[in-house]
Each structure stands twice: as C-alpha cells, then as structure tokens.
Amino acid sequence: MARKWRVEYPGAVYHVINRGNYRAWVFREEGARDAFEACLAEAAERYGWVLHAWVVMSNHFHLALETPAGNLVAGMQWLQSVYANRFNRYRGENGQLFQGRYKALLVEKGTALGQVCDYIHLNPVRARMITVEALGNYGHGSYRFLARPKARPAYLDVADFLMQAGGLADTPAGWRCYADYMAWQAAEGPAGRNQAYVNLTRGWALGTEEFKTTVLREQLVPKDHHAWTAADCREERSLRWRVVLDQCLSSLGCQCAPGDSKSAAWKVAIATHLRQTMGVPNGWLAEQLEMGSAFYVSKHVGLARNADHPAGEFLLRLRKVKGKG
C-alpha cells in the first residue's frame, strides 16, 4: 500500500500520535516513560521543535508539535528509532516497538491548537489514571510544568493554549484559571468527552476550511493520496473543487444570490466546465451552485452541449481564462 504523504513546511503544527506495536504497553514502567521524555527533549533540541503539549500514556503518546524548520519526518524518525533502540537494548529484545507509522494531523494555530492541547492534557483523566484535581502531579506530560515555570524546558510553549482558554496570562492567576478550566472540561466540556473529541485524532488536518484550503493550495499536496482514508479524500477533493469554483465565479463576476434561476446560463456553464475538467459530481454542483438537484444539473449540462445554448458564451470565457493560466 502507498504510504501516506507527509505535509511539511516551516512553522507547521501537528497532533502526533503513535501506539505500541499490537497496542503493547511500551510505556508501562515509569522508567520507560522517563526514557521517552528524555528522547523527546533531545529531539526537540536537535530539530528546533516547539512543543505546546505532550503526554505519555501506558501504550501510546500524544504531541502537540510545531516545526519551525519544517522537519517533522526527520525528527520523528530520529525520536522513534532512538527510543526503540534504547528500549530494546535495555530489555535485550529485538523487533518493532511502535505500530507502524505515527499519525500526524496538521493543526491550525488558534482554536484548533487549543482544543488539541486540552485533549492531550486530559488524557490521564479520561483514562482514570489520575483525578483532574491532581492532574498537575501526573509525571509524564507537559501539564506538570504549567505552574512550575522555572522547571519548564525551553522548548515548551504554554502561551497558545492559555490564550485559547479565555485569554489567560502565564501567571499564577492564569494557571489557577486554567486548572479550573480543565476541571470544567473534565466534568462538562468537550475535552472530557471522548466522543465529542474523537475528530481530534482523525483526518489529515484540524482547523477551518480556509486553513485546509490554503494548505492544499500552497503546499502542493499531491492529488494521489492512495493511503488517505476515504473521508480524507472526500474532504480534500471538495476543498479543491471549491477553490476552482471560486475561480470560475470570480472570472465571470457572478455570485449565487436569492432569486437566481437554477438554470442560469452562467451556472450551467460553470457546472459543465467543472464536470468536464475535474469530474465534479452533480450533487456537489447542485448544492454549491444552488441548482436544485443532481438530476437537474445533469439535465442542463446535457443541454449545454447544443451549440446555441446560452451557456456557450460563459463556457468560452472560462476556457480562455484557463488557457491563459
């Protein structure tokens, strides 16, 4: 099977997750978790990473990781291989330690990053390893450093998740407010509900549609993601179609408005153009162009084949614009 393509660029932020092979408890002992955190610290210093949050559980880890140099793949390869070598050497064992490749979801700074950090901080509480009141005493994650600024490693940045929790400052008062916020999240908020936060571990990117569209456009993400999930591919295709649709609307100087005819010539022209050049489904076109139904789009795209159809003029303009690009 083709490998999932990694999106890398300077300043990219990720939610990184991996588990022990066959969900083995590779971090069961305190020493194993300490050793992984030591490797993580070395990786952060070696590759210039910024960590916004992390937690090491019994059989998996989560990182909210920023890569100023755009070097996720090199850094993760080093981190996992070095830890696995040390682990196997100490145990006198051989073989694969982690279950295949790590998962790395791109994260938009702001709300999405704050949600990921909250989710990571509360992992031990959701797993019932510790109470939310004692969360600061959990010894294998970044949360323990929040109220201990002098002990914080230089690569840990707490400012973003404090800001997203209500504009909190990195002060004793801010730390107390964030602890109260964690208690609320655990009891009533989405970070305390596995089902509500399940999407923070799925997909390829976390954030707004604008963020995802920008990534697809600016980072030259390949179109043949054979290893992406079906949901990933549907979302990616939809975002690509939306970009081209917006370009068509702009080139024709048109926008959907209340009262527009479902069969307006410019709508039929755009639908025909996107059907012919990108194979965009009729149902998607019907929704985006407010053309009623997939059947209605199919009908009018078929009629547009006639030489004297009013959509012809608009189609010609779309093709000229494409030719110039």
**65 shares its domain with 193:** yes
Triad 171, 173, 174: Cα angle to 5°: 65
**35 shares its domain with 156:** yes
Mean pLDDT of 32-49: 93
> For residue 53, is pLDDT > 90?
yes
Beta bridge partners of 220: none
> pTM of the entire structure?
0.71
Q: What is the DSSP letter of 132?
A: G
Mean pLDDT of 128-143: 95
pLDDT of residue 214: 87
Three-state SS sequence of 30-57? HHHHHHHHHHHHHHHHHHCCEEEEEEEC
Domain membership of residue 233 (yes or no) is no
**176 shares its domain with 259:** no
**27 shares its domain with 160:** yes
Which residues have a Cβ under 8 Å from the Cβ of 256 and sit 6 or more positions away? 267, 289, 290
Share of the chain above pLDDT 90, in %: 40
CA dist., res. 281 & res. 274, Å (int): 9
Task: State which residues form the domain around 257.
Answer: 249-324
**148 shares its domain with 272:** no
Mean pLDDT of the residues in the chain: 83
| CATH assignment of the domain containing 84 | 3.30.70.1290
Domain membership of residue 238 (yes or no) is no
